[in-house]
Amino acid sequence: MASAAWQEETVVLRCFDGTEVTAPARLAAGRSGLVAAAGGGVRVVEVPGNVSGAVVAAVVTYWEARAAVAPSASASAEEDRDAAGFDGEFVRGLTHDERIDLIHAAHYLADEGLFSIFS
């Protein structure tokens, strides 16, 4: 089980291009299997694959915006609809190349939720 300090802290996602993207640790661990597998004591997580820092930053921005729409696992039906609407709008606003980059990032970050919105 994660400590309270881990839940309040940040984790750095280090990309192949040297970019380091900071994310709230609890949010990142809840969304990313890669971060969750690293455990609470790890402050820097190496992102595998050729996922650029710009794409990882976009993923973290998505995580934060999505969490604001449906902030808990026990979300109400209305919050679930809001979140589904958010995902739909998010996908509609992407170019083909942006979608491919995000699918690639979702795969390497092991973010099943992000990955599934593209299927």
Instruction: Judge contact between 15 and 108, C-beta under 8 A.
Output: no
pTM: 0.85
Domain boundaries, the chain: 7-116
pLDDT at 5 over 60: no
Report the sign of the C-alpha dihedral through residues 109, 54, 23, 18, in that order: positive
What is the average pLDDT across 65-78?
Answer: 74
Distance of CA 119 to the CA centre of its chain: 17
Q: What is the pLDDT of residue 44?
A: 97
Q: What is the pLDDT of residue 2?
A: 47
Architecture of domain 7-116: 2-Layer Sandwich (3.30)
